[in-house]
Amino acid sequence: MRPTGKLHLGHLVGALENWVSLQNEFENYHLVADYHALTTNLSTSELYDNSIDMIIDWLSAGIDPVKSPVFRQSQIKEHAELHLLFSMLITTARLERNPTLKEQARDLKIETMSYGHLGYPVLQAADILLYKGNLVPVGEDQVPHIEITREIARRFNTQYGNVFPEPEPRLTKFARLPGLDGNQKMSKSTGNTILLSDSPEEIQKKLRTAVTDPQKIRKGDPGRPDICLVFTYHQKFNPAAVGEIRKGCESGALGCVDCKKQCGAAIANALAPLREKRAYYETHRDEVKNILADGEKRAKHTAQQTMSEVHEAMAIG
């Protein structure tokens, strides 16, 4: 993940829950993509603090750094070297067809794209393949990037010899959570998020602004839960009450205000264990920094082994 600071519900349901659940099945690597952060913001003054904030959310959500190394991309220089080599194996035309890139440029109103931004799926391929990743837990919007990674792995293996696996994406049922404004995804850049660190009061305040069925103007009006994003949140965070919520919405017996209050309480309750862990790590930041240093040492060892195989296959170095 790019270190833009504290994480939101979209990060949790789109990728982070996958990361946590897979820890007992696979050898995981968790990367702070600080090079990637430069594609949309060249300022580096808050990069380190944002990285620590993000890692605190990872740990609070259940990432176990003993099982799964946590590290910064910029501290493993092999990422940059493999990115350079991979950039020779893909055309600019292929990168320009990337639908996720087009969507991001539209959302952020980017008119002139940098070379690094166009090529960030290539760097992402290096991030994955440097650790021989064969399964990548991602949000739905990142699936096109995994396909680019697969193409680059095939091209390298055909050209130089079989070094890399072709990774597969791993999605959850809620791979993409809509934003409070009804946008297709939550994004801090558009201000439509609920943060994992938000208090119950902040969650309720934000949910009051959430868009609902435009035909359900007042209590008593029949609603259409399947087009209401608040009902989507209920499905994720309040599953036991979904049947009752649907019935009340469709009949008009349940008003949007009460529906949002119930949803906010369910989200706050689901996030309570995360808030408790976050409070601990906020006051033990040196422990987080030590976790990061250990993860970077372990990741560096794996990265060096992979690059030795790359150099041998390419007969360079």
- pLDDT tens digits, residue range 6-48? 999 999 988 888 889 999 899 999 999 999 999 888 999 999 9
**Enclosing H/E stretch for 246:** helix 242-251
Average pLDDT, the chain: 93
- What are residue 116's phi and psi, to 5 degrees? -65, -35
Confidence (pTM): 0.90
- What are residue 238's phi and psi, to 5 degrees? -140, 50
139: burial class by Cβ within 10 Å (0-12, 13-18, 19+)? buried
Q: Which residue has the higher pLDDT, 58 or 104?
A: 58
Question: What contacts 47, CB < 8 A, 6 or more positions away?
Answer: 3, 34, 37
| CATH numeric code, 9-177+284-314 | 3.40.50.620
**DSSP 3-state percent helix, strand, coil across the chain (nearest 5):** 60, 5, 35
Percent of the chain with pLDDT over 70: 99
- pLDDT tens digits, residue range 58-97? 999 999 999 999 999 999 999 999 999 999 999 999 998 9
> Would you state the pLDDT for residue 192?
93
Map residue 4 onto helix, strand or coil: coil
- pLDDT tens digits, residue range 206-245? 999 999 999 998 999 999 999 999 999 999 999 999 999 9
* Residue pair 135/180 in contact by the 8 Å Cβ criterion: no
* Residue pair 155/90 in contact by the 8 Å Cβ criterion: yes
For residue 109, is pLDDT > 90? no
For residue 112, is pLDDT > 90? no
Q: Can you give the residue ranges of every domain in the chain?
A: 9-177+284-314, 198-278
pLDDT tier at 113, thresholds 50, 70, 90: confident
* Residue pair 8/190 in contact by the 8 Å Cβ criterion: no
In CATH terms, are 9-177+284-314 and 198-278 the same topology? no
Map residue 72 onto helix, strand or coil: strand
Partners of 157 in the β-ladder: none
pLDDT tier at 175, thresholds 50, 70, 90: low
For residue 312 the two structure tokens come to 């041998």
Helical packing angle, 229-237 and 242-251, nearest 10°: 160
* Residue pair 299/71 in contact by the 8 Å Cβ criterion: yes
> Would you state the pLDDT for residue 14?
82
CA 155 to chain centre: 27
| CATH 2.60.120.10 corresponds to the domain 198-278 | no
Residue 82: closest CA among 311, 298, 302: 311
- pLDDT tens digits, residue range 251-279? 999 999 999 999 999 999 999 999 999 99
- Interatomic CA distance for residues 293 and 142, integer angstroms: 28
> Would you state the pLDDT for residue 174?
65
CA 117 to chain centre: 17
